[in-house]
Structure 1
């Protein structure tokens, strides 16, 4: 028995637990590795914190996280965006607990220190007691570096890393395509819901670049579709692909004909979408506008994974937050069009509810699978989990990247390559 325990207590560093085509199961369950990930990954790269539409006006804010660190995304009176550490500079209490809202200032509930929307320390009770101790300008809420792309807001603790656009690299093309689902209107957040599952964050990182599971896990969803739509989702033997976009990002194209939502708009509107089309005509939209909106209403044909914490998944954002080594929070964000016709945004919400909503078909099935992976990772003497599907069946994409078939694990390997690089940073050779 002691020999078995010794075999399971593998002392490899996390970076050494990632090989091309397999990863060690301890990456899902070792608390020490998890703490190292928070520092080496989440504290050292660009992390998605929200969408600009969630803070539309001066004074708007939303709370978020980078790893386990609470932050506030705010818009000041000059309409500039800020990401602030949610921690009073006096005794460390959070200064904001609401998920979102509008305010003139952030006030610590413990001792009343007040901060502006840009994080500056504006007021504190009995200021005379601090005469000669410090200047208010010395103790603002700590600010993070913030950059945006197509309304997506990212922040980082580091001032010395590459600009966001360089980090996104080949993913920018796919973000541009994803944002076309506003149907000619700016994409905006319509709502969101959250849930926690008992599993490691990397299980979720793998999921949205995994088409292989779709016809097995999501049988109930597929049976809920009309025949024409079900045929579209029968994509494992189609012309789709998974492309490694670099820096841990990847795209999984399941329905190639829905990659660019502004192509083929001269085609007739399918009969199953005629009800929505007529509602849009009743709103006074031209036939060209109707075709564009109807096509955009049903989302794109791909999942875009942005390392380490957000996916642009067909028609919504999926955001992960590591809570502990065995617990992850998932945020599903429904998207529509800013100023778009009500029937369009209503259809977007109904589609979101159908698959990703709290009572939808997709979320419960996915959640159970993720939980089972976490449970299973605790079993057995074979410590390796396979991510090698399609390794010997690769090709070069049109953009010069490594790509595999739609059911390959090319995206997972790309994510783990970036993970390995970050976890090895600073280690002695």
Structure 2
């Protein structure tokens, strides 16, 4: 990972990168291992302002619970293209340490790397299947299939979100005010992939995540309504208890939300996640 990506910190007293990333390194490697030639940021930035607290978008990025209800119109669109699309809700959430968290799930939409689905068109099947064979050949059956078949929504605390699903989106919300944030997002893709595969990747991802896509307008609408409700008062807590008593966190549980909020609280209380005070 360290040879294939760059991290910058202006705090001379910060802890080491490997220590801070903890379990998030594994999921970064899964993204970076999708290409032998390296990854690149695709030209162009998706930037917008939302009238909601920045932490709400973090909840949104790794919350499997809201997908079917909030993005109902997207699934209606998909069913018109792919009537037999599987209704898969298999997945799990993992605490990666230091407030980082990942949601790993079956990629039932398909993945440009490298799980073909009818959404990509028959003309792309051979190329995607060839990429799949190469990845499994290089990384072995278990890891290769994990790279090809699994979606990964993960947070590097506090506000770096990587959505590795039907494309790869890097998303960063930044607070402008307590009730307003600016969101910046970029597409990540393998260097040197064919023009046809690049065009398909960007189209598939932008159809969901883009400024005119099915996802972003829905999410913005709901987050702003949530913010209005919070500002109205009357409710002391935001309930994130779903699945609290399950031994294994499921896709539709809220374990991942609790991981983030505990990390946030620990820092607000000037404590490490192990309960020790920060050195002064």
TM-score, reference length from structure 2: 0.80
Which has the higher relative contact order, 1 or 2, with Cα contacts under 8 A spaced 6 or more apart? 2
Question: How far apart are 1:229 and its partner, in Å?
Answer: 7.5
**Equivalent residue runs for 1:136-285 within 5 Å:** 149=2, 151-182=4-35, 184-190=36-42, 191-225=44-78, 226-227=81-82, 230-231=85-86, 234-236=87-89, 238=90, 240-255=91-106, 273-277=121-125, 280=127
The correspondence for 2:154, drawn from 304, 323, 330, is 304
**Equivalent residue runs for 1:72-111 within 5 Å:** none
Q: Secondary structure at the match of 2:49?
A: strand
The structure in which a higher percent of residues are helix is 2
The correspondence for 1:422, drawn from 254, 267, 278, is 267
In 2: Cα distance, 1:222 partner to 1:420 partner: 36
Question: Are the equivalent residues in 2 in contact too, given 1:180–1:296 (CA < 8 A)?
Answer: no
Gaps of 5+ in 2: 136-144, 272-276
Question: Are the equivalent residues in 1 in contact too, given 2:155–2:162 (CA < 8 A)?
Answer: yes
2:242 aligned residue: 389
Question: How far apart are 1:411 and its partner, in Å?
Answer: 1.2
The structure in which a higher percent of residues are strand is 1
Question: Are the equivalent residues in 1 in contact too, given 2:4–2:32 (CA < 8 A)?
Answer: no
Question: How far apart are 1:186 and its partner, in Å?
Answer: 1.3
Deviations 1:257-308 (A, max 9, x none): 899998xx8x9x6566431245x59xxxxx7347559x99999512011111
In 1: Cα distance, 2:110 partner to 2:101 partner: 14
Deviations 1:293-336 (A, max 9, x none): 9x999995120111111111022111111111111111121122
Report the structure number with the largest CA radius of gyration. 1
2:258 aligned residue: 413
Gaps of 5+ in 1: 1-147, 282-286, 396-403
Q: Secondary structure at the match of 2:184?
A: strand
Q: Secondary structure at the match of 2:242?
A: coil
In 1: Cα distance, 2:253 partner to 2:161 partner: 18
Question: How far apart are 1:408 and its partner, in Å?
Answer: 1.2
1:44 aligned residue: none
Count matched residues.
257
